[in-house]
């Protein structure tokens, strides 16, 4: 009975990516934004195969009896994944071919193949090939002695020659733009793939061979780092040495041109040592994630979203003394609606303020050109004590994080890393300032990373506070990160893996108690992902008791509505729109005296039990009202919200109210709170 209450997280994730695909179909979105959603869908799917499908294949290697006891069915799940991905890929191809391409043409933009080149365009393509492309090509020969190596997610042509031999040649889209603009004629703009330029010149690459056929392929590899067996305690060094494994990891998917004959597909499998399960048909071109940078030679603003310039914060952006403003009252920033400047100003002012004694921060993903990290270097130069916790296991950002870690340490920062068993996913910062012989702490607790670039597209919330109830407990969290304390003692903050699960259980139990007593009871929860079975069981328990449960889950949701009695009191929606919903908000009715928390943790087992996460209560009454209103707008979204139901229909949510596109309504709401002109 229990298993029917849950949806497999990977299958639910595919449903989420289906919502991304819906955005590419939605003609309410401008053309170039729909193209970007195709790119996001493609990028998401690549990572899914590198990470999740790879894990399922590792499970298949576990002894069958153990899998049976653990109720693991990787083969069945993989088959279902393959079926769903193939269906989505067909929809993807149809959108691109039947909708996007014709609409580009209607706007005077023609994406053409080599077969459509005019003689003049052939000459232009040849000149471009010789001057910009040729030097970057890599020929990967095929021999019987060894399996040829294809780099992860890189593009190649597979060529078979008339003499029966074969070879691979790279498509160097990492060094040359994937899209090449050809000369315009008669008010028409022409763009072609780099792939087509190479294909046109392929006979000049292999002058002594006659090409029988040429098809594009792409190989995805396992993204996991396997280094536990020889772990020696130095996690940074181990990860640095293991990063090369990602480049040569086990193949998880070979994407090939669906027009490739069976004989060539079989030959390709033998050449690369793959099985049928590794082979996935695709279109003529791969790596549609490159369409994130698809050029618009028309410069037509109607083909793009209208700008929503970041708003100044009504208090912090005009404050002469940011610390005095935070001391006077808690302040909250909402990205991408607000500018990221207050966060940068906070750390930059701290780096030069003579009263600041220490700066402490945890960094999960650091931008390559991070202004925040540069401000930390300035603070070190000015003699401030700086403690930086850098997470070295943030997937795909390991190398960059370690590079900044070294640089900060070289300049005198106290740098710490996580250990083997746990990640630090919290987004926290604290400065200590000597004010009239008292040590005053100022803290920042966020749902998002300290990254200016992602703050423009990720919807997050960040709280600045000088409230001693919060800052005192946050100081203990930093002591844990500094290895000075085993666990924090907290009454106000939720800190994983120490108190978050228990505190959420208590909050839900109180709602159950209130519902049974006929008192107001309800939960409004916004998160990225819902997976933890015990938390889902608590949701069912609450709903069965009469608690009104409203969930907003952007990504995968393992709650499957299998409990009919509980389902009557549960409603789940998901918003996929212009910005990526990344914030977490937890609201509990509490018999008319609501409680609300925000922070870095989702209701996933890893966030509750295997990561250090921090969630803060919202005590300031004005911020409480502000965040509650934002949550209300999101729960009432009837333009971009989809129903998350047992049928995984992804149908649009309707509430018979006037249209509410929450991201635009939030922008308008926050703009009204700005006391100065924003243009």
Residues belonging to the binding site for Mg(2+) are 365, 395
Residues annotated as binding site for ATP?
A: 44, 458, 554, 582
Asked if 193 and 285 count as a contact pair (C-beta separation under 8 A), the reply is: yes
**Sequence-ordered alpha helix ranges (H) in 167-284:** 194-200, 202-205, 235-247, 262-272
DSSP assignment of 482-528, as one string? TTS-SS---SSSEEETTTHHHHHHHHHHHHHHHHHTT---EEEEEES
From the list 425, 461, 492, 629, the catalytic residue is 425
Asked if 399 and 243 count as a contact pair (C-beta separation under 8 A), the reply is: yes
Q: Provide the angle, in degrees to the nearest 10, between the axes of the packed helices 31-48 and 9-25.
A: 160
d(CA 507, CA 510): 5
Evaluated on CA atoms 664, 669, 673, 675, the torsion sign reads positive
Sorted by sequence, the CB contacts under 8 Å of residue 104 that are 6+ apart come out as 31, 110, 111
- 425 counts as catalytic: yes
Backbone angles phi, psi at 404, to 5 degrees: -70, -35
d(CA 462, CA 332): 6
Asked if 406 and 239 count as a contact pair (C-beta separation under 8 A), the reply is: no
Long-range contacts of 550-553 (CB under 8 A, 24+ apart): 550/522, 550/523, 550/524, 550/525, 550/635, 551/525, 551/526, 551/527, 551/644, 552/524, 552/525, 552/526, 552/527, 552/581, 552/631, 552/634, 552/635, 552/641, 553/526, 553/527, 553/528, 553/529, 553/644
Residues annotated as binding site?
A: 44, 365, 395, 458, 554, 582
d(CA 316, CA 665): 22
Active-site amino acid positions: 425
């Amino acid at each position: 009975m229990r298993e029917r209450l849950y949806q497999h997280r990977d299958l639910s994730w595919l449903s989420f990516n289906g919502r991304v695909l819906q955005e590419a179909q939605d003609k309410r979105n401008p053309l170039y934004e729909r193209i970007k959603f195709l790119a996001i869908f493609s990028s998401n799917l690549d990572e899914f195969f590198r990470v999740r499908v790879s894990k399922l294949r590792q499970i298949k290697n576990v002894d069958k009896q153990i899998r049976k006891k653990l109720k693991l069915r990787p083969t069945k799940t993989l088959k279902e994944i393959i079926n769903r991905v193939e269906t989505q890929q067909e929809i993807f191809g149809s959108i691109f071919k039947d909708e996007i391409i014709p609409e580009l043409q209607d706007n005077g933009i023609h994406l053409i193949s080599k077969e459509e080149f005019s003689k003049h365009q052939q000459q232009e393509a040849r000149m471009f090939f010789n001057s910009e492309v040729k030097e970057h090509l890599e020929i990967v020969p095929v021999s019987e002695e060894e399996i040829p190596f294809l780099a992860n997610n890189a593009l190649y042509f597979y060529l078979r020659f008339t003499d029966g031999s074969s070879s691979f040649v790279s498509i160097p889209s990492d060094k040359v733009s994937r899209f090449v603009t050809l000369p315009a004629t008669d008010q028409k703009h022409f763009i072609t793939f780099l792939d087509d330029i190479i294909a046109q010149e392929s006979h000049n690459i292999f002058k002594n061979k006659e090409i029988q056929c040429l098809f594009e392929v792409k190989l995805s590899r396992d993204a996991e780092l396997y280094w536990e067996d020889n772990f020696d305690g130095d996690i940074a060094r181990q990860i640095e040495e293991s990063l090369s494994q990602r480049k040569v990891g086990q193949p998880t998917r070979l994407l090939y041109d669906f027009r490739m004959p069976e004989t060539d597909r079989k030959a390709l499998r033998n050449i690369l040592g793959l099985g049928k399960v590794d082979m996935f048909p695709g279109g003529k071109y791969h790596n549609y994630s490159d369409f994130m940078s698809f050029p618009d030679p028309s410069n037509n603003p109607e083909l793009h979203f209208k700008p929503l310039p970041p708003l100044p914060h009504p208090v912090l952006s005009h404050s002469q003394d940011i610390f005095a403003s935070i001391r006077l009252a808690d302040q909250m920033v909402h990205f991408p609606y607000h500018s990221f400047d207050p966060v940068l100003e906070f750390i930059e002012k701290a780096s030069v303020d003579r009263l600041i004694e220490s700066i402490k921060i945890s960094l999960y993903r650091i931008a390559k050109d991070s202004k925040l990290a540069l401000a930390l270097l300035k603070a070190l130069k000015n003699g401030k004590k700086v403690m930086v916790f850098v997470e070295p296991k943030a997937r795909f950002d390991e190398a960059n994080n370690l590079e900044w870690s070294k640089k900060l340490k070289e300049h005198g920062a106290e740098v710490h890393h996580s250990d083997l068993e746990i990640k630090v996913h919290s987004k926290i910062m604290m400065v200590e300032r000597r004010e009239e012989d008292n040590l005053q702490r100022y803290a920042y607790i966020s749902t998002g990373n300290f990254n200016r670039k992602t703050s423009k597209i990720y919807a997050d919330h960040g709280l600045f506070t000088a409230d001693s109830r919060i800052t005192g407990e946050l100081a203990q969290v930093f002591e844990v990160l500094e290895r000075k304390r085993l666990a924090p003692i907290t009454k106000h903050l939720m800190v994983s893996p120490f108190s978050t699960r228990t505190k959420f259980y208590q909050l839900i139990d109180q709602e159950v108690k209130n519902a049974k007593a006929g008192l107001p009871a309800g939960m409004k929860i916004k998160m990225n992902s819902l997976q933890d079975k015990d938390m889902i069981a608590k949701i069912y328990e609450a709903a069965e008791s009469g608690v009104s449960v409203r969930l907003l889950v952007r990504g995968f949701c393992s709650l499957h509505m299998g409990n009919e009695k509980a389902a009557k009191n549960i409603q789940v929606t998901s918003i996929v729109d212009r910005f990526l919903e990344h914030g977490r908000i937890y609201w509990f009715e509490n018999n008319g005296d609501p409680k609300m928390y925000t922070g870095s943790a989702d209701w996933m087992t890893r966030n509750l039990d295997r990561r250090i996460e921090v969630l803060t209560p919202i005590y300031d009454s004005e911020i409480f009202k502000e965040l509650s209103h934002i949550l209300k707008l999101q729960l009432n979204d009837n333009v971009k919200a989809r129903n998350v139901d047992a049928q995984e229909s992804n149908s649009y949510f309707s509430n018979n109210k006037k249209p509410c596109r929450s991201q635009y309504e939030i922008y308008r709401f926050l703009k009204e709170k700005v006391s100065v002109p924003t243009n």
